[in-house]
Homo-oligomer: A and B are copies of this chain.
Amino acid sequence: MTKERLKLDNQICFPLYAATREMTKRYRPLLAELNITYPQYLVLLVLWEKDRISVKDLGKKLYLDSGTLTPMLKRMEEHDLVKRTRSTEDERVVEVILTKKGKQAEQQAEDIPLQFLELTNLNEEESDQLKRILAKMLNQLGEE
């Protein structure tokens, strides 16, 4: 029995990695009518809860840095979903706000979470457990 722990089937991280990508793949058609990607959808989720947020705070919520967010937000701006403006109080800060189109997208997105959940075939208990364990893991890994 050589290196049992190095077998793909014994990994925790592999199903995590693979399921995430399959998940984004399944989101694609759901997001197609909004013409956005899954990470862009996450940005919108944040903005729908709290319109006007700095790139830094957005990054903190989504665990993304400016290297990812800056070009992504520029693309979203080109698609007229958000607007980026320098804060007048602190010129270093860029604030992101929704455009009218970005706000309206919320209506269209309303059914997406449920539509996706149906695809997963997870029951409520599993879905709750998954959420809880991932949150714990994320919390642990995310901090120093």
Query: Interface on A for B, CB 8 Å cutoff?
Result: 3, 5-8, 10-27, 38, 42, 45-46, 48-49, 61-63, 106, 109-110, 112-114, 116-117, 119-122, 126-127, 129-131, 133-138, 140-142
Contacts and interface: CB of A to CB of B under 8 A. Distances in A.
Copies of this chain present in the complex amount to 2
A17 B38 contact: yes
Given A3-B106, A110-B3, A19 B141 contact: yes
Contacts of A134: 15-16, 19, 130
B110 A137 contact: no
B122 A45 contact: no
Interface of A is mostly: helix
A16 B16 contact: yes
A3 to B, nearest CB: 6
Contact of A45 (B6, B12, B42): B6
Which residue, A19, A21, A61, has most C-beta atoms of chain B within 10 A? A19
